[in-house]
Amino acid sequence: MKLKNILFSFLLVLFFSGNILSHQKSQSYTSWKGEMAGTEFIVSVSTKISKAVLFNQLQNNNFRIDQLEIYFKNKITSEDCFSKNPLIQDKGSNYVRYLNKFVCSTEKPRFNFNLFFDLNLSHLDFSSQKKENQLFPDFIISSDNRNISIFDKDQSAELNLSFFNFLSFGFKHILSGLDHIAFLLLIIFLCSNLRTLFFAISGFTLGHSASLFSSVQGLIVSSTSLVEIMIGFSILVCSIEVLGKKTAQLSMFSNLLLLAWAILTFSIYIFLPKHSLFFLSLGLMMFCYLRLSDNYQSSLNLIFITIVFGFIHGLGFAGAINEIYLPKEDMLKILLAFNLGIEIGQILIFGIFALFAYLLKFYNLGKLRNFVTLTTTASIFGYSLNLIIERSFLVF
């Protein structure tokens, strides 16, 4: 062991463990219900969005989270309707709900939907629509298509739940997810050759595909909040493995992390005992895997853990579409499109970083490559810590 390696690693981890902005997918879900009330046509609108995502984005854009009425005011408008009885619900749930009723002069009103796009241009809203007892096709609202026509069977194809739209959704979903990109980057750092990288990618794909299909089909029921914590946990474990192997201090890092995790679990046990077993199991898994990786140098360890963590990330992918009503006749097609979009995004990510690594090797910049690996991994370690803490508030 070289003292400078220990000190250098410690300084990197300390420097990059600050509050790095974590990214969570910005999605909302809206239902549009129309009915005749006497001579008036009433459209009831209900929009919900993750409380953690919304509050994070409001704070980043200098809005006050205790004044939600100001933000939501006049975000859904129509020349065919006027609003009455807007209501915001943000108590006792992981979601914030915006409710409103519109009195309309036509049974096919047009609306301007401007919620959340000023906070995040990549935001997507998944909308369902029903008039009296008649169901209409679900559709997607994006920053490019905010002017929508409700209860219109001839709605623009750009809004429909088509194969291409879900292919694009899956592609954008993984590219906009810093947590997934960070994990994929760590896989590259852990692979010593292309053969191992191929099997690691295959393991991750197998894991997330299995959990994505199982979750959407209802075979697996998971807590979105706990899944988000486990995604952060998977990044934490792999970042420690990379730092430990690159500095030959994996045994020391695993012991220190176990001690820190034990303190965290004990603190949780004191204040919230019902959640302590979950964190205890994560800590034991982390310690056992890191010691296994340190004592038995085999590519099978990496392939195994990418399958396990791929399964967890797949539950996160499933959370993006579980709230959407998918017609049974289109479900397989849509799931295949979404998964294919994710795979295309993964290939693009791997391709970019593989090209960068090749250029460093081609120009004989081995020292720079190691420095970039260490600093990037230390940054990801700090990000994962922030991710776990931030997402734990969803549970607590």
Say if residue 278 is in the same domain as residue 349.
Answer: yes
Q: Which two tokens stand for residue 76?
A: 């859904």
pLDDT of residue 23: 45
Say if residue 185 is in the same domain as residue 142.
Answer: no
pLDDT of residue 238: 93
273: which DSSP letter? G
**CA 249/CA 65 separation, integer angstroms:** 43
Half-sphere exposure of residue 387, counting CA atoms within 13 Å on the CB side?
A: 27
**CA 236/CA 13 separation, integer angstroms:** 12
In angstroms, the Cα distances linking 288 to 69, 233, 279 are: 49, 14, 14
User: Does residue 375 lie within any of the structural domains?
Assistant: yes
Q: Which two tokens stand for residue 239?
A: 């970042």
User: Does residue 167 lie within any of the structural domains?
Assistant: no
User: Does residue 332 lie within any of the structural domains?
Assistant: yes
**CA 316/CA 327 separation, integer angstroms:** 21
**CA 194/CA 94 separation, integer angstroms:** 42
Burial of 369 (0-12, 13-18, 19+ CB in 10 A): middle
**CA 329/CA 161 separation, integer angstroms:** 12
Say if residue 282 is in the same domain as residue 205.
Answer: yes
Of the candidates 167, 111, 207, the one whose C-alpha atom is nearest the C-alpha of residue 321 is 167
Residue where a domain terminates, one of 127, 162, 197: 162
Say if residue 7 is in the same domain as residue 78.
Answer: no
User: Does residue 171 lie within any of the structural domains?
Assistant: no
State the residue range of the domain holding 35: 29-162
**DSSP calls for 292-304:** HHHHS--HHHHHH
User: Does residue 172 lie within any of the structural domains?
Assistant: no
pLDDT of residue 315: 85
Say if residue 8 is in the same domain as residue 41.
Answer: no
Say if residue 357 is in the same domain as residue 307.
Answer: yes
Say if residue 43 is in the same domain as residue 134.
Answer: yes
pLDDT of residue 324: 64
**CA 126/CA 140 separation, integer angstroms:** 5
Say if residue 140 is in the same domain as residue 237.
Answer: no
Task: Please answer whether residues 183 and 305 qualify as being in contact, where contact means their C-beta atoms are separated by less than 8 angstroms.
Answer: no
| Amino acid found at 299 | S
In angstroms, the Cα distances linking 149 to 32, 46, 91, 110, 324 are: 11, 16, 31, 4, 19
User: Does residue 170 lie within any of the structural domains?
Assistant: no
pLDDT, tens digit only, all 396 positions of the chain: 444 554 455 444 444 444 444 445 678 889 999 999 888 999 999 999 988 788 878 888 888 877 888 899 889 999 999 998 889 988 767 789 999 999 999 999 999 999 999 988 878 888 888 998 888 878 888 888 889 989 887 765 455 667 887 888 788 878 877 888 899 899 988 887 878 888 888 888 888 888 888 887 778 877 777 888 898 899 999 999 999 998 889 999 999 988 988 998 888 888 878 888 888 999 999 999 999 888 887 788 888 889 999 898 888 777 766 666 666 667 778 788 888 888 888 888 888 887 887 787 778 777 788 888 889 999 999 888 888 887 776 555
Say if residue 63 is in the same domain as residue 184.
Answer: no
**CA 161/CA 173 separation, integer angstroms:** 15
pLDDT of residue 327: 63
**CA 391/CA 396 separation, integer angstroms:** 9
> What is the sign, positive or negative, of the torsion defined by CA atoms of 28, 31, 32, 37?
negative
Bridge partners of 31? 46, 128
pLDDT of residue 155: 63
- Give the count of domains, the chain: 2
Say if residue 138 is in the same domain as residue 43.
Answer: yes
Element (H, E) at 253: helix 250-271
Say if residue 100 is in the same domain as residue 244.
Answer: no
Cβ-based neighbour number of residue 241 at 10 Å = 25
pLDDT of residue 32: 93
Q: Which two tokens stand for residue 151?
A: 């209860």
Residue where a domain terminates, one of 132, 162, 192: 162
Bridge partners of 148? 111
> What is the sign, positive or negative, of the torsion defined by CA atoms of 159, 138, 342, 380?
positive
pLDDT of residue 326: 63
In angstroms, the Cα distances linking 104 to 44, 45, 108, 294 are: 11, 13, 9, 67
